[in-house]
Amino acid sequence: MDNYCPETIRENIRVIRENIAEACEKYGNEKNTELMAVTKTVPPEIVNLVFGEGLYLLGENRVQEYLGKRESYDLKEHDGIVPQVHFIGNLQTNKVKYIIDDIDMIQSVDSLKLAQEINRLASAHNKIMDVLCEVNIGGEDTKGGITPADTISLIEQLAPVEGIRVRGLMTIPPPVDSDVYFGRMAELFNKIKDRNIEGVSMDVLSMGMTHDYVNAVKFGSTVVRVGTGIFGRRTYI
């Protein structure tokens, strides 16, 4: 608790929401962009503060960290809403089994192999897992994600799979020229959406973080993933 100020966190959330609302109005984004609190390295008692501010969407990056924190999260119903936890980090196939039962969405599906393992385990747990296909829109070697050219093919392969439901796309673009890459993502998203692929809803476009979420809203992002902007700068290990 010593490194976190609840008042500052509350004010950060207020300001970010205000910025999102202004951007939606300015750029004609009518999709009501949702704010996600990215919780990497943040203690659960601090994460739980965001629920008091009506922020009910968490993003988890690391399986082991999540497993150590999940029992301390206050995930009961708040004001008629049950908080959701999405997995947004790189996910190895051998780690899927640890999160399949209580994660609401996996945003980082970038291969048929990973999708097949999610499907196998989701079916065993009698659930359908919502997923996003992660796109490496900048072609960066240091980041995960499928190439834009291969995205439609992967989605078409996933469409008939019974244990998963493709909801859209996610990306982490290069840190510069974000408008260029967000524009490309919007084009790809709309191209896939216009195909009306059976079993694929394409209602989620997850892009934008602390430094570029306003630009992401400009290009139609439905979810922005903010960590530092809410909780302050942290030391990652």
Q: Tell which phi-psi region holds residue 79, choosing left (phi > 0), alpha (psi between -120 and 50) or beta.
A: left
Whole-angstrom distance between the N-terminal and C-terminal Cα of the chain? 18
Tell me which of 27-31, 68-72, 216-220 is least confident. 27-31
All structural domains of the chain, each given as residue ranges with its CATH number in brackets, are 6-231 (3.20.20.10)
Q: Quick: pLDDT tens for 44-90.
A: 999 999 999 999 999 999 999 999 999 999 999 999 999 999 999 99
Token digits for 100? 């399949």
How many CB atoms lie under 10 A from the CB of residue 205? 27
218 by DSSP, 3-state: which? helix
What is the pLDDT, as a whole number, of residue 175?
87
- Supply φ then ψ for residue 80, to 5 degrees: 80, 5
3-state secondary structure 142-182: CCCCECHHHHHHHHHHHCCCCCEEEEEEEECCCCCCHHHHH
Q: Tell which phi-psi region holds residue 232, choosing left (phi > 0), alpha (psi between -120 and 50) or beta.
A: left
Q: Quick: pLDDT tens for 111-155.
A: 999 999 999 999 999 999 999 999 999 999 999 999 999 999 999
68 by DSSP, 3-state: which? helix
